[in-house]
Structure 1
Amino acid sequence: METRHAYWDRVYTEKMETAVSWYERHPVPSLDLILHNAPVKGNVIDIGGGASFLPDHLFEAGFSGVTSLDLSAVALARVAHRLARYGDRHRCIVADVTRWSPDRHYDVWHDRAALHFLTDPEDQKRYGAALRSALAPGGIAVIGGFAPNGPSRCSGLPVIQHDSASLLGLLGDEFIMLQGCSHNHTTPTGMIQQFEFTAFRKLG
């Protein structure tokens, strides 16, 4: 059976980052929620970020550091090459978030369309544990994924839809909801996908 790492390496080997269904040149919902709610323009971790253009915009906005975490080494090699001018302000971690132990605290945890691939309840619990461990007190988590009326599959895989309430249940009592929004994402092939984005703050 193909591993998660191998699957996503194959996806990024077969397609450029501008051709995958989740491509966004201007990740407006994520960026708006981060800019409006982040406690400081400090360190961000982008979970399942792949070759996302979000780090580019965060650096342009003045954030001090961005870490891209993804299963695909192929995707991370692309984003590392693109952001090489930022030196060690940009880090890449090839890892499965459900098996990852953070080595530092972050001011912002961002996830667009990674959690919704975790259909196993145990994987969801491990995701929540990693988030709570990685995020500094007072930090924010911005999570975007398919809304309850959104698609049931993505990139050939089943997904689980979330809303703000289900996400808060996953994160636990340490968190409060700050802001949420719905967003219709247009894929490179012209399909419309219904997303929901929510920002939460970790109490501390």
Structure 2
Amino acid sequence: MPSPSEHWNKIFSTKTDPELGWYEGDVTQTLKFLAQIPLGESRQVFLPGAGTSKLVDELLSRGHKLVLNDVSEEALSRLRRRVGTGEKLTFLRHDISKTLPEGISQVDLWIDRAVLHFLLDEEDIQTYFSNLKSTIRLGGYALLAEFSLAGAPKCAGLELHRYCVDEMSRRMGPEFVLVEHEDYTYINPAGDSRPYLYALFKRQVNE
């Protein structure tokens, strides 16, 4: 069985962006949630599965500093070729189900679209949330967008752990407050419906 990096490297090396089942040419749904966050320029944002997302370009245009993580070096290489490099960009190749390396600075916002739901092992899920909690500063936010309970059981050839808002809230823990959530049906490039759950959380200042 291929490792996660091998699996995703193969996909990113054989498909163009519009051929990816999760590809979004329009990131309005994410931006709608971000509009509720008082983020000024030069805020720190962590994307645990950056892939080749167009959201990266949008966040850069707003002046944010980004930590772009992915398990696939192929995805990160494609992203570098498109957006370049610079002091506002940190590229990190890491399996987000494993403890993050030392030296990752705390961020104001964590945005995960379609990463968490690929983790099936309970230890991997717990490590993911440990990474999230250690990375978001007090008063910071997390936006999670995963397949909902009504969503497909598989994506990219892999089984999924689908989420309801109650499970998300439980795993985030009492230090995070649910700001808003929404069931959202994404239409993928093949024209298929993919029910998602979007949930925005804020880390309380007084824990």
Question: Which residue of structure 2 aligns with residue 164 of structure 1?
Answer: 165
Question: Which residue of structure 2 aligns with residue 150 of structure 1?
Answer: 151
Question: Which residue of structure 2 aligns with residue 87 of structure 1?
Answer: 86
Question: Which residue of structure 2 aligns with residue 96 of structure 1?
Answer: 95
Deviates more, 1:7-16 or 1:28-37: 28-37
Residue 175 (structure 1) shift: 0.3
Matching residue's letter, 2:49 = G
CA distance in 1, matches of 2:38, 2:21: 27
Residue 184 (structure 1) shift: 1.1
CA distance in 2, matches of 1:40, 1:131: 21
Question: Which residue of structure 1 aligns with residue 26 of structure 2?
Answer: 26
* Structure 2 residue 7 is the aligned partner of structure 1 residue 4: no
CA distance in 1, matches of 2:122, 2:18: 31
The percent identity for this pair of structures is 25
Question: Which residue of structure 2 aligns with residue 16 of structure 1?
Answer: 16
Residue 39 (structure 1) shift: 4.4
CA distance in 2, matches of 1:14, 1:31: 29
CA distance in 2, matches of 1:122, 1:112: 20
Higher RCO by CA contacts (8 Å cutoff, separation 6 or greater)? 1
Q: 1:189 to 1:141 in 2, by over 3 A?
A: same
CA distance in 2, matches of 1:70, 1:38: 26
Residue 181 (structure 1) shift: 1.4
Residue 35 (structure 1) shift: 2.6
Question: Which residue of structure 1 aligns with residue 123 of structure 2?
Answer: 122
Specify every segment of 5 or more residues in structure 1 that has no aligned partner in the other structure, as ranges.
Answer: none
Q: Show structure 1 runs of 4+ deviating over 3 A.
A: 38-41
User: TM-score normalized by structure 1?
Assistant: 0.94
Larger % of helix: which? Answer: 1
Question: Which residue of structure 2 aligns with residue 73 of structure 1?
Answer: 73
Specify every segment of 5 or more residues in structure 2 that has no aligned partner in the other structure, as ranges.
Answer: none
Does the CA contact (< 8 Å) of 1:124 and 1:170 recur in 2?
no
User: TM-score normalized by structure 2?
Assistant: 0.93
Residue 90 (structure 1) shift: 1.8
Q: Deviations over 1:14-62 (max 9, x none)?
A: 11122100000111221221231244441111111201110111122x2
Question: Which residue of structure 2 aligns with residue 183 of structure 1?
Answer: 184
Matching residue's letter, 1:92 = F
Question: Which residue of structure 1 aligns with residue 175 of structure 2?
Answer: 174
CA distance in 1, matches of 2:198, 2:110: 13
- Over the aligned positions, Cα root-mean-square deviation in angstroms equals 1.3
